[in-house]
Amino acid sequence: MVKEPIDLWIERHEREPDVVAKEKAERFLKAVELGVPDRVPIAGVAGDFLCQYTGISWYDLSYNLEKIPPAVLKFVHDFPHDWGIIFAPMMLEGFVLALAFPDFPDFSNTIRFLTGPVHDILKDKWSQWPGRELREDVHPQFRGGEFMEPKEYKKLIENPVEFLHCVILPRACPGLGAPGSPQWNGAWVRVGMVMQRILSFQLQLFVEIGKRGYPAFPITNAYTSADVIGDFLRYPTGAMLDMRRYPDDFKAACEALVEPILKVATAIPPIPPLTFFFIPLHLNEMLPPKLYNEFYWPYLKKVIETLVEKGYKGFVFFEGDHLPHVETILELPKGWGVAWFERPRDFIKAWETLKGHTTVMGGVPPSLIVGGTPEKIDEYLKDLLSKVKPEGGFILSPGVNELPKGTPVANVRAYINAGLKHGAY
Amino acid sequence: MSSSLEVELERLLKSILDLNEEKALEITENLLTSNVDPLKILEVIKKAAEEIGGRFERGEYFVADLVMAGEILKGISEKVMPKLREVGRSRETVGKLLIGTVEGDIHDIGKNIVVTMAEAVGFEVVDLGVDVPPKKFVEAIKQHNPNIVGLSGLLTLAIDSMKKTVDAIRETGLREKVKIIIGGGRVDQYACEYVGADAWTNDAATGVRIMLKWVREKEGGG
């Protein structure tokens, strides 16, 4: 059997993982600094495809820590990448929990994501988990919900942390009971114990992944004020309607949330050469420019600018089609970070707008990897890379890193192969 | 009188398209108080929904605009329908849509906008909710006999569930009886071919326009 580029790369991971890790780190840093590395960095994939390939269930990936390392280590071995995010154990949006504890830098960032075991304690209504509300073979899901009425904006504005802590958490998390009750106190002690267990598990797993040729950079977390409202308080549709029905309240709430968001983000100090702050955007693509520019962007921009000034680099996931708002990114300082685009209706246009100013990540429709053929994937990536490669500052990635069940293994290999073949400068 | 009625109906249409909720509801209220035929108002709603779809396709409207428009249309319908019943009239439906978020996915923002807009333009809608297994879609097709089946989903796993659903519909010999449209943030032409659907859409407004085109084609074809 003829060896493909991916096979040779896997062999190098086995033979000289330290060299490979060093190459990856240099390649990635160069791209983040808007430079031209030796090759376009290739971002990894995961999702249902990981479960199907390794045979681990979503339940085990969420709850059974001992079953996770063999699956994840096999996966990163067989589908090597330069940089990637694999949630192990599985995690979902939970930034509201961090915002309830912004003055506890020792753990505010750690509880930023919801995990299955924490969900079991809080019984939060924001998320649903396999083996609990969902079947064991189904992806855990964030559903959000409406936990605040429009008339309560005033309280949120007055003291956002107290409001989230004392009003929203009891409503959204029946497992906590009433603030100050034995149930409440006991639940938080349990959350702490569970987080400690997960944290030490993750540290061990990262060491193992690192030994296999994967560099790691520290990452902290931030959020957009309007998404706090949409994701955790008013449901996205409620937030969108509030912008029109209660514009002043909405803006004041966004302003009030900036400070606690920054507190959570800066709980992890910036360490050279690279500490990212991750922000996933949710309402962005749903808003017309008028609403985006008035209710969303000013507060997001403030968070990004403040953190960049402090020495962090941004890593922002622009969900959906962000093209209508893409020019606003140019208002940020050059080299502020990485913009990962899910599915801008014209990726090349986004790239042309931002190249030399922002590191751009994305370019590959997940549906191409799911439904295409290795030949089609190769052809598509060859064409894409001929257009976006020359200037540097580009990271190859699917629009989302989660690929569904049924994604052909040959297609995922074709994606990595094409990056290796056509991505060299 | 009739020309001033025309002017008022035109004002209603404009206020809907301007997404001016307060004004649209106020005009509706006034029209109903002055005993205007409720069906005339429903015609405005239908016209508005189509225009909203067009604006969305042209990139002039965004999801937040559809949500607001949907709220306005719903608000108007809620005022008009009791009046319609009061005068003993009913509304003609343009077709029947069976819709649900496919198995494994519990996201429903897009689906709910489709339901609101499809109802506004005159579809009878059967909403199966979220996390709907293929078998339930098949049973519901047998029970409700819809013209169109809408499969919604946000997660990438939804694409696989959509395929399973279409396969199940085909296996029970019902595929030729219905048009199938898939919708969600992550579906596209590749997904549509893989799933074996008749059409795909990333947004509710385009979806409703496609469905209206289908029912018209069917009418045109006899």
Give the gap in angstroms from C-alpha B37 to the nearest C-alpha of chain A: 30
Token look-up 């608000």 returns: B75
Percentage of residues of chain A with pLDDT beyond 70: 100
Quote the Cα angle for A85-A91-A92, to 5°: 110
Spatial separation of the C-alpha atoms in residues A307 and A277, rounded to whole Å: 8
Instruction: Report the residue count for chain B.
Output: 222
Spatial separation of the C-alpha atoms in residues A363 and A338, rounded to whole Å: 13
**Looking at the structure, do residues B107 and B146 belong to the same domain, yes or no?**
yes
User: Strands (DSSP E) along chain B, which ranges?
Assistant: 95-101, 123-127, 148-152, 179-183, 199-201
Q: Cβ of A288 and B62 within 8 Å? A: yes
DSSP state of A267: T
**Looking at the structure, do residues B210 and B162 belong to the same domain, yes or no?**
yes
A134-148 burial: b if 16+ Cβ within 10 Å, else e: beebbbbbbbbbebb
Q: Cβ of B163 and A365 within 8 Å? A: no
**Looking at the structure, do residues B75 and B134 belong to the same domain, yes or no?**
no
| Strand-pair category, A91-93 with A113-115 | antiparallel
Quote the Cα angle for A175-A181-A186, to 5°: 60
Q: Where are the alpha helices (DSSP H) in A173-217?
A: 182-211
Spatial separation of the C-alpha atoms in residues B157 and B151, rounded to whole Å: 13
| Low-confidence winner among B6-15, B38-47, B165-174 (lowest mean pLDDT) | B38-47
> Best of A227, A235, A240 to disrupt the B interface by mutation (most B CBs within 10 Å)?
A240
CATH number of the domain enclosing B195: 3.40.50.280
Q: What is the mean pLDDT of residues B36-62?
A: 89
Q: Cβ of B193 and A371 within 8 Å? A: yes
Q: Maximum Cα–Cα distance for chain B, whole Å?
A: 58
**Looking at the structure, do residues B17 and B47 belong to the same domain, yes or no?**
yes
pLDDT recorded at residue B189: 87
CATH number of the domain enclosing B66: 1.10.1240.10
As for how many domains chain B has, the answer is: 2
**Looking at the structure, do residues B201 and B106 belong to the same domain, yes or no?**
yes
Spatial separation of the C-alpha atoms in residues A104 and A101, rounded to whole Å: 6
DSSP state of A315: E
- Residues in chain A with CB shorter than 8 Å from the CB of B106 are 128, 134, 141, 143
Residues belonging to chain A with any Cβ–Cβ distance to chain B shorter than 8 Å: 47-48, 128, 134-135, 138-139, 141, 143, 236-237, 240-241, 243-245, 283, 285-288, 291, 319-321, 324, 343, 365-368, 370-372, 399-400, 402-406
pLDDT at B222 over 60: no
Written as one letter, the residue type at A85 is I
**Looking at the structure, do residues B79 and B107 belong to the same domain, yes or no?**
no
Give the gap in angstroms from C-alpha B25 to the nearest C-alpha of chain A: 14
Q: What is the pLDDT of residues B9-22, one digit of tens each?
A: 999 999 999 999 99
Domain that holds residue B163: 95-220
**Looking at the structure, do residues B82 and B102 belong to the same domain, yes or no?**
no
Bridge partners of residue A315, in order along the sequence: A278, A338
Q: What is the mean pLDDT of residues B53-57?
A: 85
Three-class secondary structure of residue A373 per DSSP = coil
**Looking at the structure, do residues B141 and B70 belong to the same domain, yes or no?**
no
Quote the Cα angle for A20-A24-A30, to 5°: 145
* Structure confidence at residue B221 as a pLDDT band (50, 70, 90): low
Spatial separation of the C-alpha atoms in residues A296 and A287, rounded to whole Å: 9
Which of B31, B55, B86 is where one domain is finished? B86
Distances (CA, A) of B59 to A327, B69, B217: 16, 15, 26
**Looking at the structure, do residues B100 and B156 belong to the same domain, yes or no?**
yes
Q: Which of B164, B160, B161, B200 is nearest to B180 (CA)?
A: B200
pLDDT recorded at residue A18: 98
Which region, left, alpha or beta, applies to residue A341 given φ > 0 means left and ψ of -120 to 50 means alpha?
beta
- Residues in chain B with CB shorter than 8 Å from the CB of A402 are 155-156
Which of B24, B58, B86 is where one domain is finished? B86
Which of B86, B120, B148 is where one domain is finished? B86
Burial class (CB in 10 A: 0-12, 13-18, 19+), B34: exposed
Do A108 and A93 touch, CB atoms closer than 8 A? no
pLDDT recorded at residue B155: 80
- Residues in chain A with CB shorter than 8 Å from the CB of B116 are none
**Looking at the structure, do residues B64 and B162 belong to the same domain, yes or no?**
no
* Structure confidence at residue B2 as a pLDDT band (50, 70, 90): low
**Looking at the structure, do residues B41 and B148 belong to the same domain, yes or no?**
no
**Looking at the structure, do residues B209 and B101 belong to the same domain, yes or no?**
yes
Per-residue pLDDT of chain A (425 residues; tens, 9 = 90+): 789 999 999 999 999 999 999 999 999 999 999 999 999 999 999 998 999 999 999 999 999 999 999 999 999 999 999 999 888 999 999 999 999 999 999 999 989 999 999 999 999 999 999 999 998 988 899 989 999 999 999 999 999 999 999 999 999 999 999 999 999 999 999 999 999 999 999 999 999 999 999 999 999 999 999 999 999 999 999 999 999 999 999 999 999 999 999 999 999 999 999 999 999 999 999 999 999 999 999 999 999 999 999 999 999 999 999 999 999 999 999 999 999 999 999 999 999 999 999 999 999 998 899 889 999 999 999 999 999 998 999 999 999 888 988 899 999 999 999 999 999 99
pLDDT recorded at residue A417: 98
Spatial separation of the C-alpha atoms in residues A394 and A32, rounded to whole Å: 8
pLDDT at B220 over 80: no
Q: Cβ of A128 and B156 within 8 Å? A: no
Distances (CA, A) of A310 to A102, A129, B15, B129: 18, 37, 47, 46
> Best of A370, A377, A379, A415 to disrupt the B interface by mutation (most B CBs within 10 Å)?
A370
pLDDT recorded at residue B202: 87
Q: Where are the alpha helices (DSSP H) in A212-246?
A: 225-228, 235-245
